[in-house]
A and B are shown apart, each in its own frame.
Chain A
């Protein structure tokens, strides 16, 4: 474990040292990345297959701090996305940095990328609160510098500001949380936290609220999601992939670790998490549907997916509070599985978006079109990832959702918690909307005719970018068809939280997982049957006439690419149905007169939290608090006076 972290840190510093030697630094970066991620994966996989890894304790000069690292199945499970996605996105990033031709500060991006990966692996392994918070802070700052890589553009600076404010609000909550726990328990070691947990009552609720806000601001479920669609789109694409696919999951890890401290889990936690998750799932995908910027769309879709994960966590909490270890295991396992699956397909989608953005020169969905013909490999991988994101079999997205449905509908919950079945309806709605959203995005971008010159001239990127994407796509399919190992690993991870007796109860969970093998096999059947029909079709058509003609346009003889259905029109029926929630703003000048010369249409979907609540609130605060500005006028004497007055006040108060 330490070896892996040191490889990654070495990579970070090498990329700084070698910044004047592009070839050497790229080679060094690739070697360090591969070595770091692969050495990191080995212990993770060993722990997930049941082995034990000895914890590490090293003294640290920081007060109350100790470098104590350990790997239990929960940590090991989170290492999988960190290293898998980290490796794929990192290799892709090398190609991306070359292809960006100096738009990006290469050495800095590399440095912070390594730092981000290394700090995340420390976050999940840390067993000491001080170490955890330090790694968390390094992770947040590295992510901030990645978001601000293109800091010349004003919208990037705005996004970076929003991100840093949010992440530090979250960290503030976490500081308070761990400070309280640490003082109660007398030690910052995680092993002492469980004993420090107060019994049910206001104190426990307060701690949960702190954890919910602190980790929630990282996870990005509603209403803490608003920074995500700002920050993720502006980062370099391989960094966005890691931010969206992995960094968000660190919040999930933190929340799960917090829950594992709690000897009792009140029912209300489960209800709150389930409700927040269901709301984020539906709202996230609805807002995704209203976006016209591919990376913003993907960011909103991440909100949907963390919503699904949060629902899983909520279900697990309900299971714990009702004393149903089986349901708890299924809920947490579903959340973990979806953590892995989402990280695979969402990172792939962001990488694809990066390849598209580089060849098109922009992230707009409407400007593309016909890319399947021009960039066949990238576009095909986009469809694979999209199908996975919609939760369709035979891809991996379905596996986690299936398990979650199984737990929600499963009927083991009683009393008030039995209303959890309605969350399944939200999940189904989100699934249907996701299908609409991704057919819209992929259809408008990759199918039909190109809507602009850039789209017509685009080409697939080089191998350094395509191969990592292909690896992720293959992983999506592999987990979808052979889901059992991943599911077993997730159950092992969930067992840490459910406090299941390792032997006896796991077998009953195994009974619940047994159908997953069939699900995978049937998924393979779909592919096999499709191959069979494809061959049959070829056989039927082998010596018949197969012609090509223009698309039928209702006898209109001169169709143009501009006549195609756009993404906005595709989304219109759903946007209209949910207008009350979305409140899209439309500026349109429809064509008028007999010989209309020009027409335009612009639609925007402002974020309900950021644009409708926080921005006006901050304006009010600014005007309301402007009198304080009078205190700051630049005269040294007055500042000294403030210090004096403050000191006197403190003295008066203390004595």
Chain B
């Protein structure tokens, strides 16, 4: 159990890192989908009680939404809007990867200082969650396209989900459903926004949005 959870967490973090170094948009979407599936498996292994109905439900919800539905929507958007298939980073791939590595180290150091509730199953949960959140933010700020910002947001949400797992035993349903819904709404809105922007400006670069300031 413990081993499997550790594998899943390491995989999650590594996917976030890989995401920072991936050039193709659809490749990025694939990685995010894979991360969604990994996260979906996590509730089944992280808690001592194992396979409860609730854990299964969360898992199914996560897999359905983040593994299947959201990537489908995004791929659809890529096809429809005919976005160029490259990520166009503001910060180059190698610097992003190096920053990602530094973030990992910082997350581990910070997690060591956080007051963590006792009885926690996997010591990796907090640092991985922190690192995933920070990498999601990094992805959001360092990439030009609106779509990659959605991806960054998703990764960020994944980090929050991990944090939510930490406290999920003490807090009932609300949190998980809230997180899932949040993401869904976000993607929905972003999808519409992307459509709109590309229709108005023939481009989905967010830096063109600065034209709106007048």
Contact = CB atoms under 8 A, between A and B. Distances in A.
Interface of A: 419, 422, 577, 580
A577 B94 CA distance: 7
Contacts of B105: 419, 422
A580 B92 CA distance: 9
A76 B57 CA distance: 74
B95 A580 contact: yes
6 contacts: A419-B105, A419-B109, A422-B105, A577-B94, A580-B92, A580-B95
**6 nearest A-B residue pairs (beta carbon):** A580-B95, A577-B94, A580-B92, A422-B105, A419-B105, A419-B109
A419 B108 CA distance: 11
Contacts of A419: 105, 109
A413 to B, nearest CB: 15
For the residues of B in contact with A, the DSSP-based class is helix
Contacts of B94: 577
B23 to A, nearest CB: 16
Contacts of B95: 580
A580 B98 CA distance: 12
A580 B105 CA distance: 21
A579 to B, nearest CB: 8
Nearest to B109: A419
Interface in B50-94: 92, 94
B106 to A, nearest CB: 11
Contacts of A580: 92, 95
Interface string B109-132: 100000000000000000000000
Contacts of A422: 105
Nearest to A425: B101
Nearest to B108: A419
A26 to B, nearest CB: 55
How big is chain B's contact interface, by range?
Answer: under 10
B88 to A, nearest CB: 17
Contacts of B92: 580
Contacts of B109: 419
Nearest to A581: B95
A422 B106 CA distance: 13
B134 to A, nearest CB: 18
A419 B105 CA distance: 9
Interface string B127-163: 0000000000000000000000000000000000000
A20 to B, nearest CB: 62
A127 B207 CA distance: 65
A422 B109 CA distance: 13
Interface string B152-182: 0000000000000000000000000000000
A181 to B, nearest CB: 35
A422 B92 CA distance: 23
A580 B94 CA distance: 10
A34 B126 CA distance: 66
A329 to B, nearest CB: 28
B90 to A, nearest CB: 12
A422 B98 CA distance: 13
A422 B105 CA distance: 10
A580 B95 CA distance: 8
A422 B104 CA distance: 13
A381 B38 CA distance: 57
A400 B95 CA distance: 31
A577 B92 CA distance: 10
A419 B92 CA distance: 27
B111 to A, nearest CB: 14
A422 B108 CA distance: 14
A356 B72 CA distance: 65
A79 B109 CA distance: 43
A525 B92 CA distance: 45
Nearest to A422: B105
B105 to A, nearest CB: 7
A577 B97 CA distance: 12
Nearest to A416: B109
Nearest to A415: B112
A577 B95 CA distance: 9
A195 B94 CA distance: 50
A419 B95 CA distance: 21
B123 to A, nearest CB: 16
A80 to B, nearest CB: 39
A422 B95 CA distance: 17
Nearest to B91: A580
A452 B105 CA distance: 51
A422 B102 CA distance: 11
A580 B90 CA distance: 12
A419 to B, nearest CB: 7
A5 B109 CA distance: 53
B144 to A, nearest CB: 17
A282 to B, nearest CB: 12
B103 to A, nearest CB: 14
B38 to A, nearest CB: 27
Nearest to B94: A577
A338 B185 CA distance: 60
A577 B105 CA distance: 22
A56 B25 CA distance: 75
A282 B105 CA distance: 19
Contacts of A577: 94
A422 B94 CA distance: 18
Nearest to B112: A416
A88 B94 CA distance: 45
A370 to B, nearest CB: 36
A279 to B, nearest CB: 13
Nearest to A579: B92
A564 B77 CA distance: 50
**Residue among B95, B105, B109 with most chain A CB within 10 A:** B95
B140 to A, nearest CB: 20
